[in-house]
Amino acid sequence: MWKYYNPVEVVFGTGKLEELGQLMAERGMDRALIVSDPFTHRSGVAEQLKQYAGGRVLDIISEVEPNPTCDNVDACTARARAIGAQSIIALGGGSAMDCAKSTAAAAAMNCTGLELLRGKPITDALPIIAIPTTAGTGSEVGWGAVLSDHATNSKIAIFGSPMFPKLALVDPVLTYTVPPAVTASTGLDVIAHSLDAMCSVRANPVSDGLAVRAAKLAFENLEAAFRDGSDPVARERMAMASTIAGYAFSNTGTTGSHACSYLLTAKYRIPHGEACALTLDAWFRKDAAVRPVLHVLSRMMGFADANAAADRVAELKRITGMRTTLTTMGVPDTREAFDELVTNAAASGNMTNDICGATQEDIASILEALR
Ligand SMILES: NC(=O)c1ccc[n+]([C@@H]2O[C@H](COP(=O)([O-])OP(=O)(O)OC[C@H]3O[C@@H](n4cnc5c(N)ncnc54)[C@H](O)[C@@H]3O)[C@@H](O)[C@H]2O)c1
Ligand SMILES: [Fe+2]
């Protein structure tokens, strides 16, 4: 038995941003709050979007931090309430989009970010239009949001179908300004979403098809986008890959690479994609032994087999200057720090979602090789 469900409508194309006002009108969306990050304020993108919306945007909040916190959500929710927002525009990388989606839920349910983080069921949300500015998270087509709580070093994904955006408006032009290091990290996140989706206990023919298409696009275009951020073809294909990977993992969830990333980001402040990339190739090799169809899917991606796909992940990390050891990521070389990483990964729902059924010893052996 398998099933696939994703209700998010997508409009994709260079220059499509200009149609925001019309797209909002067609969907009856008005009185919007744009939730975004400081970059969109500095660059004028948020203001530009407000103009495209033709009076349908009431206000802009642009203080969302990378890896958004519950406090970020509360500040945005307070603003949404103060202006009587009836819809949310989620503009930015995954951080701003996740904060915006959580804000849409918190505003409709009259609750706090911390309540959401602690598992309050998400039963309602203001309607959302999601507009990504990185080619990375695929959050624009997903029902999840990742929130962080600095007090406890926790980083947790929350889910609720009301957080599925009504529309994902993907305009690759927005990604032209992403600096090389962020292009690399977010692009590796796209590959991680695709490969993780294939390694999930919930992988199915639809998600596999989406994941293969997304991975092939990303494998073929990440290096070019990294080397020349103004290459329109590479940027367009990475944006496509990101959204398609989002459709894939919206149903499967993510697996080993993501399980091992959360503490690296929450405690050691490693960017999300770079943290996922650390163990991505190792998990893909391990999973191929359990799910041999990964070799077939890898051939569809243009590789000889799953090991060759994993080799290319390792090569991309090297080319793009990602850190590839725990030491260079700032993890102290102590038993305590190492064990904490293993325990944290083992406790993650992403790990039990992985088809290889990894034990604590398996996780330790993968991380041991990366010390
Ligand atoms: N909801 C999901 O399904 C999902 C999936 C994967 C990751 N995530 C989460 O998303 C977050 C990471 O998102 P991200 O990787 O997109 O990074 P990000 O949103 O944190 O952005 C990284 C940096 O790039 C800047 N930036 C964004 N767009 C830019 C642009 N066009 N030009 C120049 N600079 C720009 C931002 O201001 C920020 O400083 C993490 O919290 C991660 O856990 C969520
Ligand atoms: Fe991710």
Collect residues with CB below 5 Å from ion ligand 2: 189
pLDDT in tens, 88-117: 999 999 999 999 999 999 999 999 999 999
Ligand nearest to the CA of 96: 1
Q: What is the predicted pLDDT for the residue at 236?
A: 98
Spell out the domain ranges in the chain.
9-174, 179-368
Share of the chain above pLDDT 70, in %: 100
Burial class, 191, CB count within 10 angstroms (exposed 0-12 / middle 13-18 / buried 19+): buried
The amino acid that residue 299 corresponds to is R
For the CA of 177, the nearest atom of ligand 1: 32
Residue nearest to atom 20 of ligand 1 (CA): 66
Q: Check pocket membership of 132 for ligand 1, CB cut-off 6 A.
A: no
pLDDT in tens, 179-219: 999 999 999 999 999 999 999 999 999 999 999 999 999 99
Ligand nearest to the CA of 160: 1
Q: Are 203 and 69 in contact (CB under 8 A)?
A: no
Which residues face 356 on adjacent strands? none
Q: What is the predicted pLDDT for the residue at 150?
A: 82
Q: What is the pTM of this model?
A: 0.97
Give me the CATH topology for the region 9-174: Rossmann fold (3.40.50)
Q: Check pocket membership of 92 for ligand 1, CB cut-off 6 A.
A: yes
Ligand 2 geometric centre to CA of 41 (Å): 24
Ligand nearest to the CA of 179: 1
Q: Tell me if domain 9-174 and domain 179-368 are identical in fold.
A: no
Question: Coil, helix or strand for 34?
Answer: strand
Dihedral of the alpha carbons of 46, 48, 49, 55, in degrees to the nearest 10: 110
Mean pLDDT of 78-96: 98
Q: What is the predicted pLDDT for the residue at 186?
A: 98
Q: Are 128 and 166 in contact (CB under 8 A)?
A: yes
Between 1.20.1090.10, 1.20.140.10, 3.40.50.1820, 3.40.50.720, what CATH number should domain 179-368 receive? 1.20.1090.10
Residue 155 confidence class, pLDDT cut points 50, 70, 90 = confident
Q: Check pocket membership of 250 for ligand 1, CB cut-off 6 A.
A: no
Q: Check pocket membership of 275 for ligand 1, CB cut-off 6 A.
A: no
Residue nearest to atom 33 of ligand 1 (CA): 178
